[in-house]
Amino acid sequence: MSELLAEVLRRITPERLRAAAVAVTSIPSPTGREAPLAEWLAAQMSEMSGQVQRIDDDQANAVGRVRSTRTGRDLMLYAPIDTLTTGDVAEDVPWIGPELRPDMRPEATVDGDYVQGLGAGNPKGHAACVLVVGQAYAEAVSSSHAEPKGDLVLAFGAGGMPTNAIGGDRANTGHGVGASFLLERGWYTDHAIIAKPGDFVAHDEVGLCWFELTVKGIHTYAGSRHRLPYGNPIVTAAEVITRLERWLEDFPARHRTATAAPQGIIGSIAGGWERMLAVTPAAVRIRLDIRLAPGMTPLGVRRELEALLGTDADCELVAHIPPTTTDPGNWVITETIRAWEAASGREHTPIPDNSGATDANILRARGIPTARVGMPKAPLPGIDFALGMNTVQVTEMRRLSEVLARVAVANSEEER
């Protein structure tokens, strides 16, 4: 182990990681409203010339840089900072459940080795690891007077969740808008590591496409059902949804790759006036998310959908993020695997059947070879999706931080 790596790891303590996780979890940052957290993160990167990169008044990234001799390659450690749900009762309930549990609120609590609160696990625990690693690296370089050969960039991106805007005037607040803005404005590197859940190193991942299906019918009145033409699109939509669900169950088997089992889910249905139940609507809208394994295209999926639906519904693509791949022999992949094995004390084994999409797709699509690495879900009894998102284990934060630190130091020693 090099002296610089030993010094970096000495500074990455459980106490420091826990404090960072508590701090970032306690600053609300729903998609589109990340500016307060970005401001806090920039202030913590004082030794890295941290700055806020504003997208608008409410949305911003935070970035910082440890400069080098620039005789090597630049590495980015990246994490998104927005939460999928908001922690606001008016926005989340009843769709998240009958009430907001404590873990669903942006108020961090500590219970031994665990930190809980909205997004504590995904993405904020991962962002806290990136922050602490960057701070420790900058401090170690300064105290040891080391001369890194490549820059280390820390980047915290807004809009990383698969969501459209929560109100407001600008629709494109999610789907990687912060990562795209970051790269467009000069924060570009030779390699990147994104910290997102998953206890393995991934060189590729699925993309996604969103479709809107429109089931058409006849607008009429309950008192005239027996006298006028009748075609209730809500009833037709129910039949379409049942057919879709069976089709989605078989979708992964039809498109599985060595690493991916792309899933799909029906996420929304809208039709009719809740205030006026005496009439039928003329249309019902169904929206669904379908994941794309590397090699798949959104129009290929649309054609599959249209063949299934026939004339029962119109089908339109309304969002698309392509799947991406980095050559598994690329330096950032092989070095991150070596770091993972050193930190974990075991041989790295890829995990198959993945279907989660992240900003890694934005980074790779813009030409940056990118590895994804993260933490496993906290091993709590009765854990569900929300609790997994909202819990982080400090022991696992320390292991992930060591992985990131090892790659950062290895990059600092590599000649171009």
Residues 6+ apart with CB under 8 A from 71: 149, 150, 415, 416
Give the type of residue at 120: A
pLDDT score at 368: 98
Percent of the chain with pLDDT over 70: 100
Burial (CB < 10 A; 0-12, 13-18, 19+), residue 87, is: buried
Q: pLDDT digits over 217-226, tens only? A: 999 999 999 9
CATH topology of domain 207-321: Alpha-Beta Plaits (3.30.70)
pLDDT score at 144: 94
pLDDT score at 1: 73
Q: What is the mean pLDDT of residues 372-386?
A: 95
> What is the sign of the dihedral through the CA atoms of 292, 118, 371 and 253?
negative
Q: Encoding tokens for residue 354? A: 């993945």
Nearest to 39 by CA among 13, 21, 61, 9: 61
Q: pLDDT digits over 106-163, tens only? A: 999 999 999 999 999 999 999 999 999 999 999 999 999 999 999 999 999 999 999 9
User: Where are the domains positioned within the chain?
Assistant: 3-205+323-412, 207-321
Nearest to 156 by CA among 186, 126, 184: 126
Q: Is there a contact between 313 and 213 (Cβ–Cβ < 8 Å)? A: yes
pLDDT score at 167: 80
- Return mean pLDDT, the chain: 97
Q: pLDDT digits over 304-322, tens only? A: 999 999 999 999 999 999 9
CATH of domain 3-205+323-412: 3.40.630.10
For the chain, the C-alpha Rg in angstroms (whole number) is 23
Burial (CB < 10 A; 0-12, 13-18, 19+), residue 216, is: middle
pLDDT score at 322: 97
Residues 6+ apart with CB under 8 A from 53: 38, 60, 61, 62, 63, 181, 182, 185, 187
| Residue 381 DSSP code | T
Question: Can you list the alpha helix ranges (DSSP code H) found in 152-310?
Answer: 177-184, 233-255, 298-309
Does the pLDDT of residue 65 top 80, yes or no?
Answer: yes
Q: Is there a contact between 330 and 369 (Cβ–Cβ < 8 Å)? A: yes
| Residue 210 DSSP code | E
Does the pLDDT of residue 286 top 90, yes or no?
Answer: yes
Q: Which residues pair with 205 in a beta bridge?
A: 324
Question: In Å, what is the CA distance from 92 to each residue of 63, 103, 104, 202, 272?
Answer: 30, 13, 9, 32, 21
Q: pLDDT digits over 183-198, tens only? A: 999 999 999 999 999 9
Give the type of residue at 41: L
Does the pLDDT of residue 416 top 90, yes or no?
Answer: no
Q: What is the mean pLDDT of residues 231-250?
A: 97
Q: Is there a contact between 362 and 198 (Cβ–Cβ < 8 Å)? A: no
Q: Which residues pair with 207 in a beta bridge?
A: 292
Q: What is the mean pLDDT of residues 157-172?
A: 89
Question: Can you list the alpha helix ranges (DSSP code H) found in 111-167?
Answer: 126-144
pLDDT score at 166: 87
pLDDT score at 398: 98
pLDDT score at 170: 84
Query: How far apart are the C-alpha atoms of 122 and 18, rounded to whole Å?
Result: 15
